């Protein structure tokens, strides 16, 4: 009996993770690039190369734990960032290019709690973070809070924002994330509010991207076998469509100000299957659906039910999307691509005229030259989105969250070309040169659904081209210093088309 208890205890200890593994829900551009470099050099495709959130594969930076002397299971860590941009971070189009000072204090709480049971490798991970952002005009002029923030900056986004009370020349916005996850070596089941991404791009994917604000969701990643991954999540999105009926019934009052309205509910359901055909070759397939209003959410809770068939049975009024993506590592090069289908007329697939072939395409190649201790990273990526993608006949089903596209950041009727080269000068210093060029056209809902045709980049064309040189240095105690100089050439976006930007930042425990 004693020997059996000892054996059981030994098995429990051996199945506990070697370090307290949590979920990776946020990562910086440098972290994603370094992750891709490691993947290419090791000739493998880890889950965190194309999925988020996912279980941590290596311990993260050791940030200061304010309760370290009280508990070894709970961590409370400070968050801090101080940034300056001479052109305003592209925060508000009406203000660009003017200087902005951006301050972010915050806090992150997390804890890992193993579940000891015979032959069961389970633990619970709990986390939460709050970031309070204040962006102030250095010229003293007020910053407009109309519309969404950062509409043409792919790396930044915000849900709630308001004018600062004092001083009155800035914008306040905050973000809260958190959740609870049941985890094992086979699966992660998480419930909370966080960002989700799936796809091969380190920037923005076609189906679901982290280039929008966090949203409430239930998220499952199940490792069916060493070569098969199944992912499913369902969550709620913010539609930005006021529910005036509900407002009149429950929220209308006698106050003069009418600036707070409930909105119609919008939901997203997504499931995907990733197959590792070889250690260096992966293919993933997915379906997702956007629905709102009186749509039957229960129909899509079943993670293995084909959404295509389900939306037909519900009257064909929801927004169904499908796609696939792939990765291939060959030598020191990674090739990847993605295909997104919003609508499809199978018998008119190659007909360039009026049809329902509404696609988006993405292709990229990354080359890593393994110089000793200083690998050279080069990435080229192109994305093309049909004018009829990322929009729906019924506005409630638009694939947007706080008016940000949930897939590719530029939305429909756009294309995007980017080139990036990075190298490490020392173990603490990284230098990166990037060129990104994006074009947008308008989306005419009448042309899309009545005429069933929409010319690519028709009407006024908006454009943004940025050439940027960045230096990043890791300081003591895991502080990160960034310095960049960029040249902007834009059209129809800002008060001034062409301008330079100088950006400096010091960050601690925050990825953006």
Q: What distance in Å separates the CA atoms of residue 33 and residue 367, rounded to the nearest whole number? A: 12
Q: What distance in Å separates the CA atoms of residue 182 and residue 232, rounded to the nearest whole number? A: 15
306: which 2 tokens?
């084909």
Q: What distance in Å separates the CA atoms of residue 233 and residue 190, rounded to the nearest whole number? A: 9
* 55-77 residue pLDDT tens: 887 777 889 999 988 888 899 99
User: In the beta sheet, which residues pair with residue 78?
Assistant: 107
82: which 2 tokens?
């101080």
Q: Report the pLDDT averaged over residues 12-18.
A: 48
10 pLDDT exceeds 80? Answer: no
> What pLDDT, on a 0 to 100 scale, did the predictor assign at position 15?
47
User: In the beta sheet, which residues pair with residue 135?
Assistant: 102, 171
Q: What distance in Å separates the CA atoms of residue 312 and residue 244, rounded to the nearest whole number? A: 29
* 239-283 residue pLDDT tens: 999 888 777 777 777 665 566 788 999 999 999 999 999 999 999
CATH class of 2-508: mainly beta
Q: Report the pLDDT averaged over residues 181-205.
A: 95
> What pLDDT, on a 0 to 100 scale, did the predictor assign at position 295?
61
Phi and psi angles of residue 473, each rounded to the nearest 5 degrees, phi first: -130, 135
**Prior bond of 170 cis (ω within 30°):** no
Q: What distance in Å separates the CA atoms of residue 31 and residue 348, rounded to the nearest whole number? A: 42
Q: What distance in Å separates the CA atoms of residue 293 and residue 241, rounded to the nearest whole number? A: 10
pTM of structure:
0.92
- Cβ–Cβ contacts within 10 Å for residue 151, how many? 16
Band (119; pLDDT cuts 50, 70, 90): low
* 438-475 residue pLDDT tens: 999 988 887 777 766 678 898 889 999 999 999 999 99
Q: What distance in Å separates the CA atoms of residue 196 and residue 179, rounded to the nearest whole number? A: 13
Q: Is 229 exposed, middle or buried (0-12, 13-18, 19+ CB in 10 A)?
A: buried
> What pLDDT, on a 0 to 100 scale, did the predictor assign at position 13?
46
Q: What distance in Å separates the CA atoms of residue 460 and residue 442, rounded to the nearest whole number? A: 7
Q: Report the pLDDT averaged over residues 368-376.
A: 91
288: which 2 tokens?
């997702």
Q: Report the pLDDT averaged over residues 424-450.
A: 91
CA 270 to chain centre: 15
DSSP label at 153?
A: -
* 154-170 residue pLDDT tens: 999 999 899 998 888 99
Band (19; pLDDT cuts 50, 70, 90): low
Residue from 211, 444, 406 nearest 319 by CA? 406
Answer with the residue of higher pLDDT: 502 or 122.
502
> What pLDDT, on a 0 to 100 scale, did the predictor assign at position 462?
96
CA distances from 159 to 167, 172, 175, 280, 398 (A): 21, 11, 7, 38, 17
**Mode of pairing for the β-strands spanning 358-369 and 376-385:** antiparallel
> What pLDDT, on a 0 to 100 scale, did the predictor assign at position 473?
97
* 317-367 residue pLDDT tens: 899 999 999 999 998 999 999 999 987 666 566 666 566 678 999 999 999
* 474-494 residue pLDDT tens: 999 999 999 999 999 999 999
* 280-321 residue pLDDT tens: 999 999 999 999 876 678 889 899 999 988 888 888 889 999
Phi and psi angles of residue 309, each rounded to the nearest 5 degrees, phi first: -70, -40
Band (20; pLDDT cuts 50, 70, 90): low
Q: Report the pLDDT averaged over residues 134-143.
A: 92
CA distances from 245 to 58, 260, 262, 293 (A): 50, 14, 9, 13
* 30-61 residue pLDDT tens: 999 999 999 999 999 999 999 999 888 777 78
Q: Domain ranges in the chain? A: 2-508
> What pLDDT, on a 0 to 100 scale, did the predictor assign at position 398?
95
421 pLDDT exceeds 70? Answer: yes
169: which 2 tokens?
């020349």
DSSP label at 63?
A: -
- Cβ-proximal residues to 282 (8 Å cutoff; 6+ apart), any chain: 45, 50, 274, 275, 276, 326, 327, 328
CA distances from 94 to 150, 173, 509 (A): 11, 18, 31
Looking at every residue in the chain, the average pLDDT score rounds to: 90
């Amino acid at each position: 009996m004693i020997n059996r208890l000892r054996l059981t205890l030994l098995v429990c200890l051996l199945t506990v993770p070697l370090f307290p593994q949590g979920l990776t829900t946020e990562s910086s551009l440098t972290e994603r690039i370094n992750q891709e470099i490691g993947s290419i050099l090791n000739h493998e495709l880890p889950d965190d190369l194309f999925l988020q959130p996912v279980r941590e594969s290596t311990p993260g930076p050791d940030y200061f734990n304010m309760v370290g002397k009280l508990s070894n299971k709970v961590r409370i860590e400070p968050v801090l960032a101080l940034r300056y941009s001479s052109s305003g971070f592209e925060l508000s189009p009406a203000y660009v290019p003017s200087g902005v000072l951006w301050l972010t204090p915050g806090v992150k709480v997390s804890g890992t709690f193993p579940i000891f049971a015979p032959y069961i490798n389970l633990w619970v991970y709990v986390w939460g973070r709050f970031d309070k952002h204040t962006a102030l005009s250095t010229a003293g002029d007020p910053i407009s809070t109309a519309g969404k923030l950062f509409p043409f900056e792919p790396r930044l986004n915000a849900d709630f924002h308001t004018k600062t009370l004092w001083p009155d020349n800035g914008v306040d916005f905050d973000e809260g994330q958190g959740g609870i996850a049941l985890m094992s070596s086979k699966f992660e089941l998480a419930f909370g509010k966080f960002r989700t991404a799936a796809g091969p791009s380190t920037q923005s994917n076609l189906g679901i991207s982290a280039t929008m604000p966090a949203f409430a969701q239930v998220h499952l990643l199940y490792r069916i076998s060493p070569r098969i991954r199944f992912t499913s999540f369902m969550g709620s999105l913010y539609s930005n469509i006021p529910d005036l009926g509900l407002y009149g019934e429950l929220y209308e009052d006698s106050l003069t100000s009418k600036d707070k309205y409930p909105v119609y509910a919008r939901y997203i359901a997504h499931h995907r299957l990733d197959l590792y055909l070889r250690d260096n070759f992966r293919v993933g397939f997915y379906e997702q659906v956007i629905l709102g209003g009186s749509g039957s959410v229960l129909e899509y809770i079943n993670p293995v039910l084909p959404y295509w068939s389900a939306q037909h049975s519900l009257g064909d009024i929801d927004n169904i999307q499908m796609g696939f993506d792939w990765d291939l590592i060959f030598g020191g090069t990674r090739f990847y691509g993605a295909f997104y289908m919003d609508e499809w007329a199978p018998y008119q697939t190659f007909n360039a005229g009026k049809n329902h072939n509404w696609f988006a395409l993405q292709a990229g190649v990354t080359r890593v030259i393994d110089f000793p201790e200083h690998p050279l990273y080069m990435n080229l990526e192109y994305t093309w989105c049909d004018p009829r993608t990322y929009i729906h006949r019924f506005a409630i089903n638009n694939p947007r969250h706080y008016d940000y596209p949930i897939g590719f950041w530029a939305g429909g009727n756009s294309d995007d070309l980017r080139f990036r080269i990075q190298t490490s000068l020392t173990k603490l210093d990284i230098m990166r040169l990037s060129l990104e060029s994006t074009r947008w056209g308008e989306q005419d809902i009448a042309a899309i659904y009545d005429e069933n045709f929409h010319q690519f980049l028709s009407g006024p064309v908006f454009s943004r081209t940025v050439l940027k040189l960045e230096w990043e240095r890791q300081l003591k105690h895991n502080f990160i210093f960034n310095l960049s100089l960029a040249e902007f050439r834009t059209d129809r976006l800002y008060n001034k088309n062409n301008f330079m930007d100088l950006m400096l930042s010091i960050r601690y425990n925050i990825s953006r």
